Amino acid sequence: MRRQNSLWQVVDFEVDDSSLADSYRLQFNRLINKEGFPGLMKMLDDKYESLKKPD
């Protein structure tokens, strides 16, 4: 994601016909199928909390 003026934009990168957005979508789908949507949200919340902590 990048911020341009006051708006956020999603940017996708493709390398060798492999899309970053597609890769994330596949990972999220696998987790939703295994843990359900609450499992995905917990994983994202945990990641967010770990990034807020100082090193």
One pLDDT digit (tens) per residue for the chain, 55 residues? 788 889 998 888 898 888 988 999 999 999 999 999 999 999 999 999 998 887 6
SS (H, E, C) 8-36: EECCCCEECCEEHHHHHHHHHHHHHHHHH
Give the separation between CA 34 and CA 30, rounded to whole angstroms: 6
pTM for the full model?
Answer: 0.63
Token pair 């996708």: residue = 12
